[in-house]
């Protein structure tokens, strides 16, 4: 049985995978097509989500910013020019690391302090930052849906309710 934090992250992975599956059904050009949007392409939007997930996984693991920030160009480079399958492999890797971290965090509501270089310190909880990661992914999956529609393609539902329904159906 998943605790709430694990289930929330499981939803994030499910929604990403559902969107990757949908993208694989579309012409390959849809992933890298240059658009006027929040990001220049669907691929670059996923690259941003990947970078953010990597960064906040280390924040949640309480790795100091001085060790995190030098990795940002590495993660950015890892996501550039990837195919859909290659991008999904990157996401699978970070998801495995996140799940390991969640297993090692018996109290998802544990207090923590994070420091943002521009906005200062925040007294918060592990679960709040995890929720931030999931909300960030949801926001940008919405961007991807809009970008697909801009190209003439339908999106795919990734709402939390659809995740819950699919989980329920899987238990029958």
Rounded CA-CA distance 104/128 in Å is 17
Q: What are the domain boundaries of the chain?
A: 4-170
List the CATH code of the domain at 4-170: 1.20.120.450
Packed helices 4-25 and 84-103: angle between N→C axes, nearest 10 degrees? 170
Residue 169's pLDDT band, with cuts at 50, 70 and 90, is confident
Does position 1 have pLDDT exceeding 70, yes or no? Answer: no
What confidence tens digit (pLDDT) does each residue in 95-140 have?
999 999 999 998 999 999 999 889 999 999 999 999 999 999 999 9
Q: Rounded CA gap, 105 and 97, in Å?
A: 12
CB 123 within 8 A of CB 113: yes
DSSP assignment, residue 36?
S
Contacting residues for 117 by C-beta, under 8 A, at least 6 apart: 65, 69
| pLDDT-based confidence at residue 170 (cuts at 50, 70, 90) | confident
């Amino acid at each position: 049985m998943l605790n709430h934090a694990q289930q929330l992250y499981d939803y994030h992975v499910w929604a990403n995978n559902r969107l990757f599956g949908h993208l694989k059904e579309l012409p390959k050009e849809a992933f890298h097509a240059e658009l006027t949007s929040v990001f220049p392409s669907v691929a670059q939007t996923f690259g941003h989500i990947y970078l953010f997930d990597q960064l906040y996984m280390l924040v949640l693991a309480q790795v100091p910013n001085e060790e995190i920030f030098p990795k940002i160009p590495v993660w950015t480079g890892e996501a550039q020019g990837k195919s859909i399958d290659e991008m999904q492999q990157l996401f699978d890797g970070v998801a495995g690391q996140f799940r390991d971290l969640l297993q090692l965090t018996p109290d998802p509501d544990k207090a923590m302090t994070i420091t943002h270089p521009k906005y200062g310190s925040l007294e918060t909880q592990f679960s709040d930052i995890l929720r931030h990661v999931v909300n960030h992914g949801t926001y940008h999956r919405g961007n991807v849906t809009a970008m697909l529609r801009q190209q003439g393609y339908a999106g795919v539902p990734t709402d939390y309710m659809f995740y819950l329904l699919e989980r329920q159906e899987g238990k029958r």
